[in-house]
Amino acid sequence: MQDIIQKIQSLGFSQYEAKAYVSLVRQGPTSAYQVSKESGIPRARIYEILNGLQEEGIVLKEEINDSVQYSPLPVDVFLESVQTKWNNTYQSISDTLKQFEKTEPISDNRVMTLKGERHILSFCRTLLQKAEKRVIVSIWDKMYEKLEQELKDTAAYCNLKGIVFQVDNPLPGIDIHRKTSYVDNIGENKWFILSIDGKETIYGPSSEERETAFYTDDPVHINFLENYIWHDILVNRLVKKDNEDAENWISRERDQFFSL
């Protein structure tokens, strides 16, 4: 145990941070008290340590009723985010942490916050590697560029569908959103949605706009987001078949709907 703690410290974490992360990997979602008890971190320091790791995106925090639970960033995502910088220690940490990782399925569906562009992109890449049948996306140009190779790799064996904004030559199966004044003037309000096999979804602002995103395995959220993408694709296809009057009408109706 001490060996893996020291190797995680070599990645730039303090001893208490390393102990807290390994404790969460061993236990799965749990309270700060249980992390303190299992890891030996003093109770007076545990909230400071866990909140610091949450800010770095290494620990995920959930408020359930009147209690707070902490979860570790999945081991594969954690390792992918530091692999390029610490390649020499990657394999040793990978082998050890995966032995500790709690594998029992979690019964409650979750919506969790992810922080940090590096961790968000790593999470997206990890989900794409897990995809088996279908990937659905709604994504803007800069985020698309960062994930294009992984999307291409996944499209070799999965059904890739969705819509892109301000992308000229997307991968087959992805629609290009028509050019509109709304798209051209959206500014910093860009988003992305990445849904895998109808089971897991990451969504939020494009990572270059704001380093916060959300992960869910809740079927209601996933169904809503996938239907949102389909609705966008459907309207896009219908307007392309129609004339310019339809586009002008949609713009007027949107402005009226969202007016105060």
Residue 106 included in any domain: no
- 29's enclosing H/E stretch is none
3-class state of residue 139 by DSSP:
strand
Same domain, 132 and 231: yes
Residue 105 included in any domain: no
Residue 252 included in any domain: yes
Same domain, 133 and 251: yes
C-alpha 153: how far from its chain's center?
A: 18
Q: Which residue has the higher pLDDT, 163 or 2?
A: 163
* Domain extent at residue 242: 111-257
Same domain, 149 and 60: no
Same domain, 122 and 240: yes
Same domain, 122 and 244: yes
Same domain, 248 and 123: yes
C-alpha 196: how far from its chain's center?
A: 11
Same domain, 65 and 157: no
How far is the C-alpha of 68 from the C-alpha of 218, rounded, in Å? 19
Quote the mean pLDDT of the chain.
87
- Per-residue pLDDT of 10-22, as tens digits, reads 888 899 999 999 9
Same domain, 221 and 141: yes
Average pLDDT for 30-42: 94
- Residue 160: what pLDDT? 95
Confidence of residue 138 (pLDDT cuts 50, 70, 90): very high
Same domain, 58 and 165: no
Number of domains in the chain: 2
Residue recorded with tokens 């990572």: 207
Q: CB 167: neighbour CB atoms within 10 A?
A: 19
Average pLDDT for 102-112: 67
Alpha helices in 115-216 (DSSP H): 117-130, 141-155, 181-184
Same domain, 171 and 56: no
Residue 197 included in any domain: yes
Angle between helix axes 75-82 and 87-100 (nearest 10 degrees) is: 170
- 70 Ramachandran zone, left/alpha/beta (phi>0; psi -120 to 50): beta
Residue 7 included in any domain: yes
Q: Which residue has the higher pLDDT, 95 or 27?
A: 27
Same domain, 151 and 211: yes
Which of 52, 73, 100 is the last residue before a domain boundary?
100
Tokens describing residue 54: 């949450």
- Per-residue pLDDT of 177-215, as tens digits, reads 988 888 888 888 899 999 999 999 999 998 777 889 999
How far is the C-alpha of 191 from the C-alpha of 207, rounded, in Å? 8
